Amino acid sequence: MKILITGIHGFVGANLVNALKEKHILYGLDIVAPEKDGVVKTYSWDDLGKRNIPEVDAIIHLAGKAHDTKNQSKAQVYFDINTGLTQKIYDYFLGSSAKKFVFFSSVKAAADQVEGDILTEEVVPSPKGPYGESKIKAEEYIQEKWPADKSVYILRPCMIHGPGNKGNLNLLYNVVKRGIPWPLGAFENKRTFTSIDNLCYVVEGLLTKEVASGVYHMADDEALSTNELIAVICEAMGRRAHIWHLNKKMMEMVASAGGCLHLPLNRERLAKLTENYVVSNRKIKSALEVDKMPVRAKEGLIKTIKSF
């Protein structure tokens, strides 16, 4: 297939190129255009407007403004990029000969917090903050123009990790690397992650199989607690995990004071580190007719940690 990938030089894009380049002809669309093995040429967004890009069979839209965990980005930037660029590339797709469109949204477009045991595609979206809100606006634009003669997939992955990733998992790794004990062992939670290998496997399936258009959540099969995640990081590093089971009430008091005293632990960070956020991948596995993802959650996490 001939495939156009936006944001091709980012973390997910680089991994998708490695996964797809042996069997497909790849073109890029990005704000930078260095030469890349497996990519015929990277075009600019100006080229898109001038329609200087070759006709392709499928478009994968990765380009976007990532979630700023430090909350330093202006809200409008998210809407300009996550919503605006999606509208631009989707309109281009509708007017092209391409038959498949894969949009990378996020579970944050569905919910900032999971109500109940597991987040499924049936949830009524209620994003909080400009990142999730800009993603759901992009989803709504796509669904308003759902084509009958083309296949369109909205993917909502939970936290993606893999070699080259520089997100929250890297921050947690650095805490463990310094030998700092984990003080929140008394809190038990469950979270799902998305291995980049499983994500590439799903994208390949959407491109090559006859799958119904729709919204699909993306996650590894198994959920892990933060305590289990700390243990996996230590295992990958060949270290013994130091997990302190300090009194919950005491840690909540520390977190309450942390906001006023500008400590590393505050109420918001405590909630994020100890909340449940389990995402269902049942619908995408059913669509691809597979029983399980090729990479186990622990296996994928160890591969990521070792790359750090």
CATH class of segment(s) 2-157:
alpha beta
For the chain, the domains span 2-157
Give me the residue label for tokens 């255009």. 33
Check if the beta carbon of residue 147 is closer than 8 Å to that of residue 94.
yes
Laid out side by side, the sheet with 2-6 consists of 39-43, 25-29, 2-6, 58-61, 100-104, 151-157, 214-218
Residues 106-150: tens digit of each pLDDT: 999 999 999 889 999 999 999 999 999 999 999 999 999 999 999
Rounded to an integer, what is the distance from CA 99 to the centroid of its chain? 24
pLDDT at 216 over 80: yes
Residues 62-108: tens digit of each pLDDT: 999 987 655 556 889 999 999 999 999 999 999 999 999 999 999 99
Q: Which two tokens stand for residue 252?
A: 């909540």
Closest CA to 221 of 244, 198, 203: 198
Residues 242-262: tens digit of each pLDDT: 999 999 999 999 999 988 888
Average pLDDT over residues 178-207: 95
Q: Given its phi and psi angles, is residue 51 left (phi above 0), alpha (psi -120 to 50 degrees) or beta?
A: left
Q: How far is CA 199 from CA 52, 76, 116, 161, 188, in A?
A: 30, 29, 25, 10, 27
pTM for this structure?
A: 0.93
Q: DSSP of 158-183, one letter per residue?
A: -SEE-TT--SHHHHHHHHHHTT--B-
pLDDT of residue 70: 57
